Structure 1
Amino acid sequence: MAAVEEPKLDIVIFGATGFTGKCAVQEIIKLAKEKSDLSWGVAGRNESKLKEVLADISKKTGEDLGKIPIIIADVSQEDSLLKMAKQARVIVNCAGPYRFYGEPVVKACIAAGAHHVDVSGEPQYMEKMQLEYHKSAEEKGVYIVSACGFDSIPADMGTVFLINKFEGDVNSVETYLESWAEGSVKGAGIHYGTWASAVYGLAHQNELRPLRQKLFPERLPELKPKLKPRGLIHKNEYVEGWCLPFPGSDRSVIQRSQRYFYEKEKQRPAQIQAYVAFKSFLAIIAISIVGTVLLVLSKFNFGRKLLLKYPRFFSCGFISHEGPSEETMKKTRFNLTIVGEGWKEKQAEPTDNHADPPNKMMIVRVSGSDPGYGLTTRALLLSAITILKEANKMPGRGGVFPPGAAFAKTSLIEELDKHEMKFEVVTSKEK
């Protein structure tokens, strides 16, 4: 008699013993209460640590996690990853930096027919996965979606939200990220893993140009008027603060979605610029100094060793191996202001330029609390659930996508809105 295969788990959280993984376990407990048919498990390389995580979170939440499946999987052991992926419908990958640990998991997921989501903010990793695995993922009917956390979900899905509400041709989008703590907080604000990803990302920045030339051999059309980047440090009326170019992956993630909409749906691709905003000019100076030191030291092996060995020192206390306390996370809030300009009229073709200057502006805001980890893992898990429930509303039958392209026609924005990530139109006016 043939062996009867056990039903697959809906979601397996890989890397559940890490800081982000633990946050994901706490969030999935809440979501599983809402969605009673949701089955899930945890995975990692150390069984005793996985049991310890479940025991600690069980004690903390009062939930009985004794029967949650535990799967042993190690990125250095291909067979173990394949075995894990065969037991899941979606792998929620919390094990970074992804440039080192992400690709083997993606390969295993495609081979096993499991979908894959992660919270990468690493353009080299994300674009390499799209270049090398999009076709095979499509053939297997598997969705691989990176950047499913803060800050790319607010930025990419927020841009989708703005374009959907605009009812015309959007020419340009500028994003302004603000984050602050309500009241006094102590300790670090970001976990070491995020810092390590940034260090290695900057160190290998030169990989992006040749990678993008292969991934996107044809340039997007030159549309007018051209959106020019603002000054290195500039005062901005939309957020009433001082702004710097945002060093994260938001711009590249949004641009990949815009390219998809242009190539597959004949939508005019919006030009994108991303900024981070601060109320204080002194904060801008401090961030600029830290950023300059990070940029310079990351280019040298010795400098990278220093940055990774002493993260708290080089980040002025903002980064630590322990990560932020629960109090700090709960008190941290964010606003992402998205400013779109364009025309109230639509041209027949996405490459057609308008004869007149832009005559419409819209401002959208995406906001929430605990963006770094609580909201991040909530968005990550809701992305996974969206694939489970609404794959028929996603592009084609599979592939490697940024979140905006992947989830534009699904209910993800509505689900995020229900779970404390608010999307709203602040201003819409004709010029």
Structure 2
Amino acid sequence: MSTNDRDYDIVLLGASGFVGRFTARHLAHSAPDGARIAIAGRSNARLQDVKRELGVDWPILEVDTAADDAVARLAASTSVVATTVGPYLRYGMRVASACARAGTSYADLSGESIFVARSIERNHDAAENSGARIVHSCGFDSIPSDLGLGLAHEAAGSVPIVAATLRVRSLRGGVSGGTIDSLRQQMKEAKTDASTRRFIGNPYAFTPGPSVRLPRRGGSGWGKVRGAWQAPFVMGAYNQQIVQRSNYLTGWGYGQLMQYREVVATGRGFAGFARAGAINTGAAALVAGLAFPPTRALLDRVLPAPGTGPSAEAIERGRFVIDVDVYPVEGQPVRTRVAAPYDPGYGGTGIMLAESALSLAFDDLPDRAGVLTPMVAMGSSLAERLRAHRFTLDVGALS
């Protein structure tokens, strides 16, 4: 199954971390025979534990992500690097840039606007020149959003889209310490550097922006729609940046006037109103609290620490159901349902990252290079892989 003459097909960086172990477990169960996989990180002892736990004989690479020469050797040794080592603002750029220069494909779990914007600026041209596919956000952020919209757009005949809405119908699962730490680092960066704040909340942060004058955008998503209450989805601002980059990379194939937003459906009546209000207030309070040192210090005492997560029983109960509704300029609206019987932030994200790495290593993909998105880099190939592992990605007419 070798893809080229490099030592490895896939190196998983951060395999001993909480989400890294889920990713490694899936690779151990699902990689094709003959796939050359290695695991990497700072601690040989912890990586040895992963090998014993999984019963695999993968090589171990000790890598300090702060050392340019070590990261360059890592990138040159493999066809694909998949990394769970965040926050990516702190630990990710050397790895992404080394891969871009070496012609090595790369996948991560970033949900950090500032990091991805800087990666595009620093790495897109180098990756285009080397043939590397640098693909950020290959987990729950932002594969359901990106594939959901992209598959619906194809089913609608690939005509421009007037509007699209992602609705979280149900979601059960915890928030990882790594996700909280990524948000914490981004808030600290934005607080100290005014030039970076424009990236957060700007749907076109990863593009030059459309060339046409946009109509006035709708509200945040808070309120009642068709008798049911809804609230903004906490990762919606970031996910729309990924979706709009897919739009840009396809020559604004979704349409320069497409308005996209993400919401959480909370139900009808007073209970739905109360849930929507709690989500809206809680998300805003968390972001605001992490932005200021005094409240950040208090939150640090109660929020999960990096590398930690919920119990195995809680993860086992996880699942999610998401609808992405697309309204084209002509023809019938289309819906993609994206669902899985996995905790979105752990088991589900581990599978999504592992299958992204396998797709980048072994699938016959579109002839694209640069800093890409999951839909542009892998598209239907990744969707088929996920369907083979109990993911639902059903596309049909919206009645």
Q: Given the two structures, how large is their TM-score scaled by the length of structure 1? A: 0.81
Q: Matched residue of 2:66: which SS?
A: coil
Deviations 1:218-245 (A, max 9, x none): 534246xx4733455213349x543225
Distance 1:244 1:306 in 2: 25
Residue of structure 2 in register with 1:273 after alignment: 261
Structure 1 range deviating more: 302-311 or 167-176: 302-311
Distance 1:419 1:401 in 2: 24
* Residue correspondence of structure 1 range 294-313 to structure 2 within 5 A: 294-311=286-303
Query: Is residue 166–residue 325 contact of structure 2 (8 Å, CA) maintained in 1?
Result: yes
Tell me if 1:178 matches 2:163: no
Structure 1 range deviating more: 266-275 or 74-83: 266-275
Shift of 1:320: 8.2
Deviations 1:167-221 (A, max 9, x none): 243211111123334xxxxxx8222111111223334445152798996445342
Residue of structure 2 in register with 1:284 after alignment: 276
Task: Give aligned-pair identity as a percent.
Answer: 26
Query: Is residue 23–residue 377 contact of structure 1 (8 Å, CA) maintained in 2?
Result: yes
Alpha-carbon distance change, 241 to 427 in structure 1, aligned in 2, over 3 angstroms: farther
Distance 2:216 2:150 in 1: 18
Alpha-carbon distance change, 145 to 391 in structure 1, aligned in 2, over 3 angstroms: farther
* Residue correspondence of structure 1 range 126-275 to structure 2 within 5 A: 126-167=116-157, 168-181=159-172, 189-205=174-190, 206=194, 207-209=196-198, 216-222=207-213, 226=215, 228-230=217-219, 233-237=222-226, 240-248=228-236, 249-263=238-252, 268-269=255-256, 270-275=258-263
Q: Matched residue of 1:171: which SS?
A: strand
Deviations 1:323-367 (A, max 9, x none): 12222222111111111112336xxxxxxxxxxxxxx32222111
Distance 1:287 1:392 in 2: 39
Deviations 1:15-39 (A, max 9, x none): 111111111111111112xx11322
Q: Matched residue of 1:344: which SS?
A: coil
Residue of structure 1 in register with 2:341 after alignment: 369
Query: Is residue 172–residue 227 contact of structure 1 (8 Å, CA) maintained in 2?
Result: no
Tell me if 1:334 matches 2:325: no
Aligned residues: 382
Query: Is residue 207–residue 248 contact of structure 2 (8 Å, CA) maintained in 1?
Result: no
Residue of structure 2 in register with 1:50 after alignment: 47
Distance 1:173 1:328 in 2: 32
Tell me if 1:31 matches 2:18: no
Q: Matched residue of 1:380: which SS?
A: helix
Structure 1 range deviating more: 285-294 or 74-83: 285-294
2:51 maps to a residue whose letter is L
Distance 2:231 2:354 in 1: 31
Which of these two proteins has the greater Rg computed from alpha carbons? Answer: 1
Which 5+ residue runs of structure 2 have no aligned equivalent? Answer: none
Distance 2:219 2:364 in 1: 39
Shift of 1:143: 0.9
Query: Is residue 168–residue 263 contact of structure 2 (8 Å, CA) maintained in 1?
Result: yes
**RMSD value, Cα:** 2.7
Query: Is residue 97–residue 193 contact of structure 1 (8 Å, CA) maintained in 2?
Result: yes
Residue of structure 2 in register with 1:70 after alignment: 60
Residue of structure 2 in register with 1:122 after alignment: 112
Query: Is residue 74–residue 80 contact of structure 1 (8 Å, CA) maintained in 2?
Result: yes
Q: Matched residue of 2:346: which SS?
A: helix
